[in-house]
Structure 1
């Protein structure tokens, strides 16, 4: 394949993956819907930089080396799974408190509250970079589609495409969820949105935790 074909295929596969429901998608939906456009955009920026970092590490072979070290990869899985499960716990705890009128759901303060740009960016970056499934995805994507002898210009364009598509997609999602029309509808559904996002984080996080613990036990 020539480089144009490679880059087109890379962009197509990555864009399909971006649209699939997962921690990144859930993070944007939950926070853009609740805290507004600016928070959603900074989360999108954090997520896209996490994807850029994964892409660079995969392209340089560092991610592959991590994946080939079972103990190191299992440790990364444990940390990443714990973080995602924690986000899920916080979201579900907030829903439970709101349901039981322990505090105002719309004004509660919790660890899921993102009160400034830095927190929103950090939440997006950490959610993506600590997701071991993202590491495996980009290893597979880069190793199968980007040949080792590809030009530096081509590799640079590949990184730019992965980052650009990620930022544009998550920014558009944040923008759409924070329009006045959508905000009116979302307020009535906020409890269910938080609950669904909490379930997504919890299920993915605990499955990653279970996988890491199982792999470690097999090696004992």
Structure 2
């Protein structure tokens, strides 16, 4: 198989995975609809940098070594699951607090929520959500080991990393942009609270599932 074919296959598989609903997708949807375009774009940048780091660690074999050590991998799962559960709990808590207010105030973004419009915080949230997700570690280990041969040229491996990063940044940025247009914001304003609640449920369930899996592996 030629390097061009390998890179095309890699790009296709990765792009399909990007469009699949998961923590990264939910994070962009939640924050782009709630806080606007700038926050969504910086979260997209953080997510894509997390994907780039996962790709580098997988390509160099570091992620594979972590995955092969049950105790170490379980600790990674605990850290990632706890973080995702924390995001879910925070979203659900904020949603519940908003439900207690007057209906007219549910579309108002208060001062504490505006903290996430800080560029550094938005980038950090995106980066942490991706890099601490143990499912992402497993995905990239599988992707790199099955599609990128060890004999691939250095330029080919560099192109693979560039493709993964550019596709991730382009997709999540497009998602953030599409959800933050004035027309879309007017449509989403009435259901922002429901989006927050749904994303909170997604984060909580995924985080709890990862924690349960890591606890089970430690007890075996």
Normalising by the residue count of structure 2, what TM-score does the alignment of the two structures yield?
0.96
Contact kept? 1:84, 1:127, Cα under 8 Å:
yes
**Separation in 2, partners of 1:78, 1:211:** 9
Q: 1:38 and 1:148 mapped to 2: Cα distance?
A: 39
Counterpart of 1:88 in structure 2 is 88
- Which residue is 2:40 aligned to? 40
Deviation sequence 1:3-39 (CA, Å, 0-9, x none): 0000000000000000000000000000011111010
Q: What runs of 5+ residues in structure 2 fail to find an aligned partner? A: none
3-state SS of paired residue (1:147): coil
Corresponding residue number in structure 2 for 1:146: 148
Q: Quote the offset at 1:98 in angstroms.
A: 1.1
Q: TM-score, normalised by structure 1?
A: 0.96
2:130–2:136 contact (8 Å) kept in structure 1? yes
4+ aligned runs moved over 4 Å, structure 1 = 109-113
Mapped partners of 1:206, 1:110: distance in 2: 26
2-structure distance, mates of 1:65, 1:119: 31
Deviates more, 1:103-112 or 1:66-75: 103-112
Query: 202, 216, 219: which is aligned to 1:217?
Result: 219
Structure 1 partner of 2:78: 78
Query: Is 1:185 matched up with 2:177?
Result: no
Distance 2:78 2:203 in 1: 14
Matched, 1:120 2:101: no
For residues 1-220 of structure 1, the aligned pairs below 5 Å read: 1-101=1-101, 104-105=105-106, 106-110=108-112, 113-218=115-220
Distance 2:80 2:114 in 1: 17
Q: Structure 1 unaligned segments of length 5 or more: list them.
A: none
Checking the alignment, whether the CA contact within 8 Å between 1:90 and 1:111 is kept in structure 2 is no
CA distance in 1, matches of 2:111, 2:182: 23
* Secondary structure in 2 matching 1:114: helix
Q: Distance in 1 between matches of 2:208 and 2:112?
A: 21
